[in-house]
């Protein structure tokens, strides 16, 4: 047997052993390191009193009431629920819970005047991607609208491209690397400012 082949087999065996060990050591309460299992109890009616039940995004810690214009909610087939601050963090939830089938995903109607913005199933929403509107956790905004006419008004004023939810989700995954880098940089700058204030 050639040395190169032996190294390949050895590496594969080591990977398999590590994978088995990771599965055996997975924490039963939060799913780590294999998977993030939503920590809240299963709920068949997640929209009822939603902001009180899911006040913080479990992925970034942001306040969902403060970011009600971008927040999202996903209910999986086992009725476990993730309330996120944005489509960026929803993307994380969907990836980490790959073995859970989403039953319903809700997004906000950015064009509404009601506060907090009402949540609707994403198949009823039109997304405006890349407009010059502020958004949580991403450089490239992805805002959802219940009314196509209002979405077009925002597009005329702020630019961007109109699309369906699946397109916005795909763009979130494509933006993930640059967004994660931006978030790390912003958080490091905040930590430095906090340290300077503490020392000064």
Interval 30-70: pLDDT, tens: 544 444 678 888 999 999 999 999 999 999 999 999 999 99
More confident residue, 115 or 9: 115
Predicted pLDDT of residue 38: 84
Q: Is the pTM of this model over 0.75?
A: yes
Quick check: 8 pLDDT over 50? no
Instruction: Provide the percentage of residues in the chain whose pLDDT is more than 70.
Output: 82
Average pLDDT over residues 128-134: 96
CA dihedral angle for residue 20, residue 24, residue 26, residue 28, rounded to 10 degrees: 150
Predicted pLDDT of residue 36: 67
Q: How confident is the model at residue 20 (pLDDT cuts 50, 70, 90)?
A: very low
List phi, psi (to 5°) of 38: -50, 130
Quick check: 3 pLDDT over 70? no
Residues 6+ apart with CB under 8 A from 39: 29, 30, 58
Q: How many residues does the chain have?
A: 200
Average pLDDT over residues 62-84: 96
Predicted pLDDT of residue 84: 95
Write down the domain spans for the chain: 35-199
Predicted pLDDT of residue 183: 87
Can you tell me the distance from the alpha carbon of 45 to that of 116, in angstroms, rounded to the nearest whole number? 18
Can you tell me the distance from the alpha carbon of 25 to that of 4, in angstroms, rounded to the nearest whole number? 31
Predicted pLDDT of residue 2: 52
Predicted pLDDT of residue 151: 98
pLDDT digits (tens, 9 = 90+) for 90-106: 999 999 998 899 999 99
């Amino acid at each position: 047997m050639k040395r190169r082949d032996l190294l390949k087999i050895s590496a594969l065996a080591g990977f398999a052993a590590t994978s088995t060990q990771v599965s055996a050591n997975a924490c039963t309460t939060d799913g780590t390191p294999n998977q993030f299992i939503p920590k809240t109890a299963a709920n068949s009616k997640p929209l009822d009193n939603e902001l009180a039940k899911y006040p913080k995004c479990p992925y970034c810690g942001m306040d969902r009431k403060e970011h009600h214009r971008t927040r999202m909610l996903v209910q999986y087939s086992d009725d476990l629920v993730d309330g996120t601050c944005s489509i960026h963090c929803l993307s994380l939830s969907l990836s980490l819970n790959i073995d859970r089938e989403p039953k319903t995903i809700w997004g906000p109607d950015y064009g509404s005047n009601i506060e907090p913005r009402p949540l609707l199933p994403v198949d009823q929403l039109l997304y405006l991607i890349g407009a010059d509107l502020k958004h949580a956790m991403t450089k490239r905004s992805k805002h959802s609208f219940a009314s196509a006419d209002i979405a077009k008004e925002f597009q005329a004023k702020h630019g961007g491209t109109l699309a369906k939810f699946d397109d916005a989700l795909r763009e979130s995954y494509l933006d993930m690397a640059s967004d994660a880098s931006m978030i790390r940089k912003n958080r490091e700058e905040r930590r430095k400012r906090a340290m300077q204030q503490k020392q000064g």
